[in-house]
Structure formats: C-alpha cells, structure tokens
Amino acid sequence: MILEALNYAATFPVTTPAHRPFIRSSVNLWSRARRCAKAWAPHEDNTRGAILAAASAAKPRRTAVVLGSGLLRDVPLRPLAAAFDTVVLIDLVHLASVRLWLGVQGLKNVRLIERDLSGYDALKAGQTPEPLDFLRRVPYLDLVISANLLSQIGRGVKRRLEKEPPGTLPEDAVARLIAAHIDGLHQLPAKTCLVTDTRFEVVDRTGAVRDAADLMAGVPLAAAKAEWNWPVAPLGEESRDYQIVHQVGAWF
C-alpha cells in the first residue's frame, strides 16, 4: 500500500484536474500488474509482437501514436523510439512510475499527452462522437496503435453512466463509442494496430465457465490476425475458486 500511495501522490500534481479522478484506477492496475506479472507475461509478449509487426509494415516511419499507453508493459517502446522519429503516448493518466521509467530511459523523441479518448462528452452533448478525429491533423502520422484500450472505454462509460441521471446518454452508448473508436482507426491515413480484449469468462478450478460477457457490446469485428487468452485475474487474485480470463485479438 505504501508504494501505491506514493505513486498516487506523485502522479496527482502532474495530472490535469479533469483527469485526477482516474488516477486511482491507474494505480490499482499498476499494483495488479505487479502481482500478476508472471500470469500476464504471455499477453504482454503477444501484444508487443503485434505492435512490432504493425510497425515493421509502416512506411515511412516518422510519427507513431500509442492510444492507451498505460503502464507501457505491453508497449515495445524502445524499439518504437528507435524506429520512428517521434512516438506520442496518449492516455487519461501517465503515472509517476511511468514518467520516472521514461526519464531513466532517456528517450528524447517520446511525447506524453493526456486525453480522454472515449468520445463520452461528445455523445453526451448530442454530437456524433469522433474520438480519433484529432489524429487526422497530426502531421507525418505513419502508425497508430490502440493498445488494450477499447474494452476499457466500454467499462469506463458504464461506470460514468451509473452516476448520470437516466436518459443522459442513449441506451446504446457503450456500443456507439466502441464502434466510433474502431471506425476512427479505419479512417486514418496511417498503418493501424488494434489490440483489445473482446470477451471475459469466469472459470472455476475444474475449467467450467461460470459466467461470460461480450466486452464489445455486440459491435462486430473482423477476424483477428492473432488471438490469445489473458488471465486478468488468475486463481488467487480475486478468489481461490475461480479465475477471470479475457479473450484478446489483434488486428494489424
């Protein structure tokens, strides 16, 4: 708890006020990633492999953008920084632990941007959400990576809706915002890479599936180029009796 508290305290002053409410969830993810490092390693390796495959196909290699850069555990940042003139990391929160690691690495061509990528505010205002429209104005953009972000948009929207009066957003808000992210990637004049978990299952010790849900809210996706399972909560993390496994796909 001490490390979590220190990370939170150090992140708070370097985060814009609008995004400070999201620091706690980022710290919680950082803590879980440390506890589950062994179980998460294959997922992180697979994600890095998909990103590197997409990067190798990008020509030229001037600017790469990582959406949902998070803890950078699943982002091959050093190879990206070596291959591209500029790498831009975009997320709601950049933890102090991440900023410290970046400082130690001395990567001079890496930039950090705080941004809400969900499109929630536009949809709430009655507008058509285009959360990735800003990327069309990024000069020399050659690669855009959405790194394990899309399902988090859906979960975040659900949490925010719980605090809103009924009818604030359309009933299909989650599906519309997930679709807006996918459509936004398709419309970009750059090579793209989408890695996302699409489904979760609660699996007991015998291997029986006790619960499951579609993390894409019914939004269809093309056949993935690669697929794997990610034990988000291995046995013992949330319970000794079950684990939570997410199905992940990569499109590049």
| pLDDT digits 0-9 by tens, 169-183 | 999 999 999 999 999
Residue 194, pLDDT score: 98
Residue 183, pLDDT score: 98
Q: Where are the domains of the chain?
A: 2-189
Residue 49, pLDDT score: 98
Residue 84, pLDDT score: 98
Residue 46 in contact with residue 248, Cβ under 8 Å? yes
Residues 6+ apart with CB under 8 A from 5: none
Residues of the chain with pLDDT under 70: none
pTM of the model: 0.96
Residue 108, pLDDT score: 95
Q: Residue ranges of the alpha helices (H) in 89-193?
A: 96-105, 120-124, 150-161, 173-186
Burial of 4 (0-12, 13-18, 19+ CB in 10 A): middle
Burial of 19 (0-12, 13-18, 19+ CB in 10 A): middle
Residue 56, pLDDT score: 98
Residue 76 in contact with residue 53, Cβ under 8 Å? no
Residue 70, pLDDT score: 96
Distance CA 227, CA 208 (A): 21
Domain boundaries 2-189, corresponding CATH code: 3.40.50
Give me the amino acid identity at 48.
R
